């Protein structure tokens, strides 16, 4: 029996170190001038946390197991209300706690989607389809024509169209997508517009695409927004990266 268990252990170790049962290290860091509360939501497999606090300059590393499929976003301006419930001005997951258990409603924030070791590769997408709240950069540990540092590294809250701006007091804190705001078939690519042929960029999605050409901004906008890396790749996900270039004109 002991010999059999030893063989099972050796086989598992071999599979792990050979990459068959690979994991990726996701290091989430906060370079914003404010606290950020990351959200981890999973459709397949689970990480050890669903939400936590990340003070200015802090970072936290998480292990993403093979086959993990999920997203990372950041909440801002969070606090406990008079009844003790935890709420956030942007990206609130409605759990009333720092952890984000259960289902997840689509907030008007910047998202990063990951698929880890899916068909032998990793892939990720930076998405503005539902809106924007923070600049985000994803830096993989490896580099190739399909695997390189990218993100939405500009402050879109400043250039967001007035009818899409969301305020906390007098300050814009996030930018809604046109679909979230209007719900029209043209903005949401539904009904007649539900095809790659008919779903075209609008003046609103063009605003996102001009500023962040490597981010996914509307349905079928996948030409430059999906990045594929080897399944042994680790990642650093940075909120408010130090280098935020000017918006191209």
- The CATH superfamily assigned to 21-154+215-239 is Thaumatin (2.60.110.10)
The reported pTM is 0.86
User: Among residues 231, 216, 237, which one has the least CA distance to residue 123?
Assistant: 231
CA distances (Å), origin 246, targets 31, 105, 152, 158, 159: 18, 31, 11, 12, 11
pLDDT tens readout for residues 184-207: 999 999 988 888 889 888 888 888
Sketch the domain layout of the chain as residue ranges.
21-154+215-239
E strand segments, the chain = 24-30, 37-44, 59-64, 69-80, 86-90, 111-118, 121-127, 131-132, 136-140, 150-152, 165-168, 171-176, 226-230, 235-239
Say how many residues make up the chain: 249
pLDDT tens digits, one per residue of 213-232 = 999 988 887 667 899 999 99
> Taking all residues of the chain, what is their mean pLDDT, rounded to a whole number?
87
Highest mean pLDDT among 19-28, 131-140, 214-223: 131-140
Q: Measured at the alpha carbon of residue 49, what is the angle toward residues 232 and 100, in degrees to the nearest 5?
A: 125
């Amino acid at each position: 029996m002991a010999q059999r268990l030893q063989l099972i252990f050796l086989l598992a170790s071999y599979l792990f170190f050979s990459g068959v049962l690979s994991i990726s290290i996701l290091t989430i860091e906060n370079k914003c001038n404010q606290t950020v509360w990351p959200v981890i939501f999973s459709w397949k497999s689970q990480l050890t946390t669903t939400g936590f606090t990340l003070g200015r300059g802090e970072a936290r590393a998480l292990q993403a197991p093979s086959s993990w499929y999920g997203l990372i976003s950041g909440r801002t301006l969070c606090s406990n209300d008079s009844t003790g419930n935890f709420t956030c001005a942007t990206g609130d997951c409605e759990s009333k706690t720092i952890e984000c258990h259960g289902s997840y409603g689509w907030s008007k924030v910047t998202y990063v989607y990951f698929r880890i070791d899916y068909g032998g590769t990793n892939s990720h997408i930076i998405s503005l389809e539902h809106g924007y709240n923070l600049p985000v950069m994803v830096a993989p540990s490896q580099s190739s024509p399909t695997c390189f540092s990218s993100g939405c590294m500009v402050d879109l809250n400043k250039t967001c169209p007035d009818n899409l701006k969301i305020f906390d007091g007098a300050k814009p804190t996030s930018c809604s997508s046109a679909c979230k705001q209007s719900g029209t078939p043209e903005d949401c690519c539904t009904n007649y517009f539900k095809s790659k042929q008919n779903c075209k960029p609008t003046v609103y999605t063009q605003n996102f695409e001009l500023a962040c050409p490597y981010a996914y901004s509307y349905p079928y906008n996948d030409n430059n927004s999906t990045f594929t890396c080897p399944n042994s790749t680790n990642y650093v996900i940075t909120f408010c990266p130090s280098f935020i270039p000017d918006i191209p004109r």
